[in-house]
Amino acid sequence: MGDYFFARDIGRGPLGAKYERVPPPRFSADSDDLFMRSMITTYAAEEKDEDGVPNGNFFLNKASAERALTEVVGTHKGLSGKNLKAYVTEYFPRTWAHFDVNGAGMVGVEVMPQMARFFA
């Protein structure tokens, strides 16, 4: 996964070149889509270009998508603990398979609203 910057990389890197996560302008204001901003700033990986520079393309791997959708289900269905874990265990694999149809191991951040509706 060396081709991506993850949220954990924010503020890391050589002095003067620390990674900064910059959401696209349409998701950067408080009046914009807060769900998408959360997906981008908290869960997504940002692709690097051939020079190792962030290019503004955001993706979620399976683990990040599962964490994000677990939060969505916990918040919107009011599930927690064993009930939340059981729901995710039962429904996440089919949700992931539905959206990662090519088996790439990553989905574009733009599919997360549809994925959340499908999952929850």
| DSSP structure string for 38-96 | HIIIII-EEEE-TTS-EEEEEEEEHHHHHHHHHHHHHHHS---HHHHHHHHHHHHHHHH
Overall average pLDDT of the 94-106 stretch: 95
pTM above 0.85, yes or no: yes
Reported as a single tens digit per residue, the pLDDT across 11-63 is 998 887 899 999 888 887 777 688 999 999 999 999 999 988 999 999 999 99
